[in-house]
Structure 1
Amino acid sequence: MAKTSMTRWLVLGLGLALAGPAAQAQPAPIKIGELNSYSKWAAFTVPYRQGWQLALDEINAKGGVLGRKIEIISRDDGATTGDTTRVADELVTREGVSFLFGSFLSNVGVAMADYANQKKILYIAAEPLTDAITMAQGNHYTFRVRPSNFMQVGMLVDQAKASGAKRWAIVAPNYEYGQSAAEVFKRLIKERVPGAEIVAEQYPALGKIEAGATVSAIEQAKPDGIFNVTFGPDLTQFVREGNARGLFEGKFILSLLTGEPEWLLPLKDEIPEGWTVTGYPWDEIKDPKHKAFVDAYQTKYKDTPRLGSLLGYMVVNMIRDTIERAGSVETEALIKAFKDAKFDTVIGPVTMRGLDHQSTMGAWVGKLVLKGTHGGMTDWKYNDGASFMPSEAEAKAARKD
């Protein structure tokens, strides 16, 4: 009996001795916190999560970065500012993440930027569009990847010059993103289109549009151009009611984000053809790097990519490159590595401008068209974001850091 026990202990000891060096050779993963509105805005955020998961799997399959695997600890932010800061604090204090990225709604992104500034931790805003994140509320710790409202609205307004439309109506959700986009449009349309005026403004509550009343108010103002900022279910209802009443006939329509597959797919064959939109014509982009991303995404998920998919994929690859440049995950080293960094992405070169922490990622602008049973974009062009950013003087004047 004693001899058997001794043998077992010797075998166990030998096993531990052999396993020890191997276990010690595996350094701890780099923990990164991610939070987004997965339950409330799944149409965008679930494809976005699939995009960053694809990038994560590819990076870790190649050994990670700095000899360590990356671990992303993801949480739902509840689509509210209160839940967001609570979840962010849990990720930092309980999970011990090195920094944070994500967010969808603009008000949530502003709250995260404030949290990052207070806690002195790096935050990379993936999706929020309000200019406040890199302008009035911009700070040392916050960076944004997606082109801002100022950039995308500027791309659309450029298309309005030749339309002849002078009387404009605005419809936008009544929260940070919609208000920001509307203010930028009012400024830029008057600067770039002589004689332009705003004759109607409608700001329905997010997710609670009364489409009949909204369309009626716009009709009564008799605009010859409409700037639309609604998305999701609000967009679907607005388009359906507008189509039924002939609101869009004979008018020049500018629409922010409407060319993104996330918001086109629910419209099915009700696509308002001819609208000038920002979007993502994923199926028509021929660049080999982008095609490789699309092929990998479709192979893994058996689905077509959305703009969120592309964004999630780009953000995690940019994070990988930044950690590599920094040589660590120490906050100040990462911030230094991010500023004025150049990234070789699947849509081409993107730079993170050091002055205001806004990337030069651009957007596709084109016209909506019905392709069989679903919508797409035609006559599109990719606009480099660098040509549409606020001037350095304007950015310096707006920021407080």
Structure 2
Amino acid sequence: MSKTFSLSKLLAGVATGLVLAAATLGATAPAAVSAEIKVGEINSYSALPAFTEPYRKGWQLAVEEINASGGIKGDDLVVISKDDGGKPGGAISAANELVSRDGVVLLTGGFFSNLGLAISDFAKQKKVFYLAGEPLTDAITWSQGNKYTFRLRPSNYMQAAMLAEEAAKLPAKRWATIAPNYEYGQSAVAIFKQLLQKARPDVEFVTEQWPPQGKIDAGAVSQAIASAKPEAILNVTFGADLVQLVREGTTRGLFKDVSVVSFLTGEPEYLDPMKGEAPVGWIVTGYPWYAIETPAHDAFVKAYQAKFDDYPRLGSVVGYAEMMMIAAILKKAETTEADDLVAAAEGITVDSPFGPIEMRAIDHQSTLGAFVGTTAVKDGKGVMENFGYRDGADYLPSDEEVKKLRPQD
């Protein structure tokens, strides 16, 4: 009887101890941590910081706003970012790590067009959703387009159409071109020539210069262009190459009495470093952040300046809009499986600092537009003036034309 009593007493004591322990643990345990949805981001941070650093700030601001407003269906949006070093091999290695090791649900980013195409092919082979932010080559949505790849920025075709519209108004008939010798430059020149000659059959292209990206010999290029005596020049160089071309071309009188039409030159990333040496009167695409007066853009600029104590560049808008579109897609999708993300992305409409944009189902190209204007120098700084916003939807081919350009998924 005493043994039975002792055993019962022991069991009762153990039970009481367990209850007390559980209560104690419950009182001191940390609050439940929300789940995370991980997104993989790849970009050429070390190769082109002038664009990619503002771009990073843009998506960081967006992620902060997304999570502050409830995240993705209550889960935090987490971005795992990798630097591809400006090389296709680096981009593929980063994509592999993000998908296989880090467990991201999708990929985004990319700057150089050839790297964007490499990531796009990876996405196709691995069946991973990819939203390309910056790569501008038309191939990414048309000739090499695939089910899993989408693109945010206005493409070469779209920007060429905007610029050709203005170029066709010029009296110039003899044109020269200067572009970096890789996918982006080649694609931009080809489509501009096609669109301008369609609008102006009397136009001829008398010479082309193809300097290697990042290694332009601006003096030799300027001399070669001048010897052809063009009446107008199409420029596709950017970054340090653009600075050197403007400096050498101005010194040698290349741009005197010659019209210049130029991709991207009005973007602060490329216009600001030239300061008072910025070209005057060039027709450009760009981003005059200091003079855009819309509620959506005002709100974006105020939030950006409050967080970073700096003004936005175009990269900032791209990074911000890219992550906002990803959030909208994740919220709309039934699951984070690639096919569900594709279904959610096709036809989705998202607000951006430039206004509402749609992701077209037919070719996975967004309708984000661009500003077109002319360059000037004011108070020792390069600026855009006489500008207007061109809605991307107005500069895209019809569904029937796209079906001829893009392979069927």
TM-score over 0.5 for the alignment? yes
Mapped partners of 1:377, 1:15: distance in 2: 66
CA contact (8 A) 1:150 1:390 kept: no
Residue matched to 1:81: 88
- The 5 Å alignment of 1:2-401 reads 14-18=23-27, 20=29, 22-23=31-32, 26-400=33-407, 401=409
CA contact (8 A) 1:169 1:225 kept: yes
390-399 or 146-155: bigger deviation: 390-399
Residue matched to 2:3: none
Mapped partners of 1:37, 1:310: distance in 2: 17
CA contact (8 A) 1:366 1:381 kept: yes
How far residue 392 of structure 1 moved from its aligned partner, in angstroms, is 1.8
Over 3 Å counting, the alpha-carbon distance change for 1:277 and 1:21 in structure 2 is same
Over 3 Å counting, the alpha-carbon distance change for 1:129 and 1:17 in structure 2 is same
Amino acid at match of 2:266: G
Superimposed CA distance per residue, residues 341-377 of structure 1 (whole angstroms, 9 cap, x where no aligned partner): 1112221121111000000100000000112121110
How far residue 327 of structure 1 moved from its aligned partner, in angstroms, is 3.6
Over 3 Å counting, the alpha-carbon distance change for 1:270 and 1:9 in structure 2 is farther
How far residue 13 of structure 1 moved from its aligned partner, in angstroms, is 5.1
Residue matched to 2:10: none
Amino acid at match of 2:242: L
Amino acid at match of 2:27: L
Report the TM-score when normalising by structure 2: 0.93
SS in 2 for 1:118: helix
Mapped partners of 2:398, 2:185: distance in 1: 22
Mapped partners of 2:211, 2:39: distance in 1: 36
Amino acid at match of 1:363: A
Structure 1 unaligned regions, length at least 5? 1-7
342-351 or 229-238: bigger deviation: 342-351
SS in 2 for 1:195: coil
SS in 2 for 1:273: coil
How far residue 19 of structure 1 moved from its aligned partner, in angstroms, is 5.3
How far residue 14 of structure 1 moved from its aligned partner, in angstroms, is 4.1
SS in 2 for 1:78: coil
Mapped partners of 1:91, 1:291: distance in 2: 35
Over 3 Å counting, the alpha-carbon distance change for 1:90 and 1:19 in structure 2 is farther
Mapped partners of 2:201, 2:125: distance in 1: 43
Residue matched to 1:5: none
378-387 or 345-354: bigger deviation: 345-354
Residue matched to 1:3: none
Report the TM-score when normalising by structure 1: 0.95
Over 3 Å counting, the alpha-carbon distance change for 1:327 and 1:10 in structure 2 is same
Amino acid at match of 1:161: A
How far residue 9 of structure 1 moved from its aligned partner, in angstroms, is 10
How far residue 21 of structure 1 moved from its aligned partner, in angstroms, is 8.0
Superimposed CA distance per residue, residues 81-121 of structure 1 (whole angstroms, 9 cap, x where no aligned partner): 11111110000000000000000000000001100000000
Amino acid at match of 2:391: D
SS in 1 for 2:400: helix
41-50 or 320-329: bigger deviation: 320-329
Amino acid at match of 2:166: Q
CA contact (8 A) 1:152 1:363 kept: yes
Amino acid at match of 1:176: E
Superimposed CA distance per residue, residues 33-69 of structure 1 (whole angstroms, 9 cap, x where no aligned partner): 0010001110000100000000101111122011101
Superimposed CA distance per residue, residues 206-232 of structure 1 (whole angstroms, 9 cap, x where no aligned partner): 000000110001000000010000000
How far residue 299 of structure 1 moved from its aligned partner, in angstroms, is 1.0
Structure 2 unaligned regions, length at least 5? 1-16
How far residue 12 of structure 1 moved from its aligned partner, in angstroms, is 7.1
Mapped partners of 1:96, 1:70: distance in 2: 13
Mapped partners of 2:67, 2:117: distance in 1: 31
Mapped partners of 1:28, 1:22: distance in 2: 13
SS in 1 for 2:359: strand
Amino acid at match of 1:202: Q
Over 3 Å counting, the alpha-carbon distance change for 1:189 and 1:9 in structure 2 is same
CA contact (8 A) 1:66 1:327 kept: no
Mapped partners of 1:265, 1:305: distance in 2: 12
SS in 2 for 1:209: coil
Mapped partners of 2:334, 2:256: distance in 1: 57
SS in 1 for 2:165: helix
8-17 or 164-173: bigger deviation: 8-17
Mapped partners of 1:14, 1:168: distance in 2: 82
Mapped partners of 1:356, 1:20: distance in 2: 50
SS in 2 for 1:190: helix
How far residue 324 of structure 1 moved from its aligned partner, in angstroms, is 1.2
| CA-based RMSD | 1.6
SS in 2 for 1:348: coil
SS in 1 for 2:31: helix
How far residue 180 of structure 1 moved from its aligned partner, in angstroms, is 0.4
SS in 2 for 1:124: strand
Over 3 Å counting, the alpha-carbon distance change for 1:59 and 1:247 in structure 2 is same
